[in-house]
Structure 1
Amino acid sequence: MVKEKYSQSINSALTDILQYWMEKTPDHENGGFLGKIDNDNIVSPDAPKGSVLNARILWSFAAAYNHDPQPQYLETAERAYHYIAEHFVDNNYGGVYWTVDAQGNPLDTKKQVYAIAFTIYAFSEYFIASGREVAKDHAVELYQDLIKYSLDKEKGGYFEAFGQEWESIADLRLSDKDANEKKTMNTHLHVLEGFANLYRIWPDEELKNRITDLLKNFTSHMIDSETGHLKLFFDEDWNSKSAIISYGHDIEAAWLLLEAAEVIEDPEWIARLKDIAVKMAYATTEGMDKDGGLWYEKDPKADHIIKEKHWWVQAEAMVGFYNAWQISHDPIFLDQFSKVWDYTQKHIIDDENGEWFWGIGPDGQVMAGEDKAGLWKCPYHNSRACIEILKRL
């Protein structure tokens, strides 16, 4: 019954997302994909191009092809792969650049570990789709860069960012919203995700140990065992430097941590992380609004909730709540999944101009001035949620 109720609408949503990115985002003048398109589909032709966006496009279309082998999905993945390999990969010092300009020349050459992790994730998925050994080799080389330069060999975990030649830099932040700290939950979550996808194609024993170490980092330092929420920012000694609660990251981590344990086929970690996934999903329900959407974040110290409903938060909530229902069979989670998907269809999906809006503000209106495609606005969260739910259905 669950399958009949959801598979058609979610499959249709996935097709629409992929169609939008194939039609609207290729840069026919300079190659690759456009750097920025606004809510009304107005292109900024000179906008920089981001490594995170391009890696996420590559992952999305490789994953779409692996789910449903349509030749146009593989063609789009190939376009993304070649652009990243030719313009973002730093052949001199390793890693990938943060941004290139509209013509593909290096712009911000810092090494953000988050971006490298996404590139590992994407190259691994593309190898599964294409069988191209060079993509696998690229992924392994980037993994080795992170172990060589970013791994904290004393305290564990990964440092956040470096200069082009892997030298120390003062500003480590991913974005203006982030705290300037040496270690972040967000980067570790996506390093784990990248490493787990790499392990699917390259079951190396050292890599398996690195994945296990990351799971230990999460359970020892990043998950609050009392509340079930994540801690977000840390100094190098793992002292927590922020009290902010991110509902979207809570529910995303709930299922991604378990997935990593399943990839390495570790029964003890699988059992432990199933319990944690359910606990984190219960904690996330605190952020559910009565209209079915999931709020962005909360500052417990100020007792203030940011009542924006971002596209990626709704996408991750779909998977995280469905996953918790599959584990626990508690009907609250199937209900929350259903509410989030209904909310997303009514308010987040842009039926007129395509793709999903960035988000809905506290006033119930579409958030103005945000991207449809940009450094952060991508096809990965929403296409992945659709693919993941369709698999589980």
Structure 2
Amino acid sequence: METQIDTLKSLAKSELFEILNYWSFETIDNKNGGFIGEIDYKNYKNFDAPKGSVLHARILWSFSAAYEITNNEKHKSLAKRAFDYIVSNFYDSQFGGIFWSINADGSPRETKNQIYAIAFTIYGLTEYYKISKDKKALDLAIDLYKKIELHSYDNLKEGYFEAFTRDWQPIEDLRLSEKDANEKKTMNTHLHIAEAYANLYSVWENVDLKFKIAKILHVIDVYFIDKKTWHLKLFFDENWIEKPDVISYGHDIEAAWLLQWCAEVIEDNDLIEKYKKYAVEIAKVTKVGIDIDGGLWYEFDPKENKLIAEKHWWPQSELLIGMVNAYQLTQEQEFLEIAEKNFEFIEKYILDKENGEWIWGINQDYSPIKKDKAGFWKCPYHNSRACIELIKRL
């Protein structure tokens, strides 16, 4: 058994350096500043592509979190590059939000306040504060937290609304992406608000913030976790009426370990025990989404009884952490074996051995999905975090 753990840990360590290497050398935008907005599956760099706030916030988080393991000054300087670029280009000094996207030259493009993007900015800023002690990063994170509470929190029915215009007015299109339902409250945004707030609390132990984190965990418990199936419910209207959708295996297993971590950060024993139990139950049901090759399928549509037969890069990353976490909670060997087999799947099908980094994913016939290597959604956050978590946990 010890060799299994050693193997996984050493794989995670070497892969972390590979990921950081790619993002250090391939994604710097020396033409416009910050990081390149889009690199395609063939590694073609589009310096004229728009840049996403989520991409830059996740790069900020990844290099900041990795620096605590690597102690590589280059990683710290890249975190600073991301921080400086976010402050000067994505932060809306007029209305106090974060632009969803900007043009290649740094001018605002989509100026809506998507709470998901603001949450990721808080997550990145607080991680950067840990390694830099730059008060500007912490102050901005606190300011953004207050903006979410002021504008997004539903004082009547609890939970958080999805999106607003630049000046914080209601907006018609609330969606994160085209595939999402246009609903006012989503699991994805609540999960990442919890994550961001917990990271903020780890550097700023504010009583109100702690109360807010506990409240989000309560809301997620009541509305988003289906205790019959142990899958997550994804979309609701403002009155908590569900809009049934797919089963998202990646979000299930990500929530399993991440919500437990949030409870642990605020040291709420009741919530810790509850979410430890949930973490194991969700890990168990996630097994139905794992193929015989060790890869985790993307989604399942219960209404159509149809598998969305793709294996994307990010659910694999979350499966690794979720299964190692379940192993730590139960000491059941099976969970560790799932993680080990999933790493083998990643190495065989997801790593781009020619150009570096991970490809978007594969189709059912193992052909590559020809989408971004870097872009609005393709960032180093899921896979670097999986490696960092495995290194710490094992």
Task: Name 2:393's counterpart in structure 1.
Answer: 392
Paired with 1:4 and 1:263, the residues of 2 have a C-alpha distance of 27
Task: Name 1:16's counterpart in structure 2.
Answer: 18
Correspondence 1:204-353 to 2 at 5 A? 204-353=206-355
Correspondence 1:194-205 to 2 at 5 A? 194-205=196-207
Deviation, 1:173, is 0.3
Deviation, 1:330, is 2.0
SS at match of 1:371: coil
1:96 maps to 2:94: no
Question: How many pairs were matched up?
Answer: 392
- Structure 2 segments unaligned to the other structure (5+ residues): none
1:174 maps to 2:145: no
1:375 maps to 2:376: yes
Task: Name 1:363's counterpart in structure 2.
Answer: 365
Letter in 2 for 1:224: D
Letter in 1 for 2:271: W
Letter in 2 for 1:376: W
Structure 2 counterpart of 1:25, from 24, 27, 38: 27
Paired with 1:66 and 1:309, the residues of 2 have a C-alpha distance of 30
Task: Name 1:137's counterpart in structure 2.
Answer: 139
Paired with 1:238 and 1:129, the residues of 2 have a C-alpha distance of 39
Deviation, 1:8, is 1.9
Is the 2:327–2:335 Cα contact (8 Å) retained in structure 1? yes
Paired with 1:199 and 1:8, the residues of 2 have a C-alpha distance of 31
Partner deviation per Cα, 1:153-175 (whole Å, 9 max, x = no partner): 11111100000000111100000
Poorly superposed stretches of 4+, deviation over 6 Å: none
Paired with 1:232 and 1:329, the residues of 2 have a C-alpha distance of 30
Paired with 1:305 and 1:348, the residues of 2 have a C-alpha distance of 20
Paired with 1:4 and 1:287, the residues of 2 have a C-alpha distance of 26
Letter in 2 for 1:365: S
Deviation, 1:324, is 0.6
Task: Name 1:34's counterpart in structure 2.
Answer: 36
Task: Name 1:184's counterpart in structure 2.
Answer: 186
Letter in 1 for 2:189: T
Deviation, 1:215, is 0.5
Partner deviation per Cα, 1:11-48 (whole Å, 9 max, x = no partner): 11100100100101011011100000011110112110
Deviation, 1:68, is 2.2
SS at match of 1:7: helix
Deviation, 1:331, is 2.1
Letter in 2 for 1:69: N
Paired with 2:316 and 2:174, the residues of 1 have a C-alpha distance of 28
RMSD (CA atoms)? 0.7
Task: Name 1:156's counterpart in structure 2.
Answer: 158
Deviation, 1:363, is 1.1
Is the 2:41–2:372 Cα contact (8 Å) retained in structure 1? yes
Paired with 1:226 and 1:184, the residues of 2 have a C-alpha distance of 19
- Structure 1 segments unaligned to the other structure (5+ residues): none
Paired with 1:9 and 1:332, the residues of 2 have a C-alpha distance of 19
Identity of aligned residues (%): 52
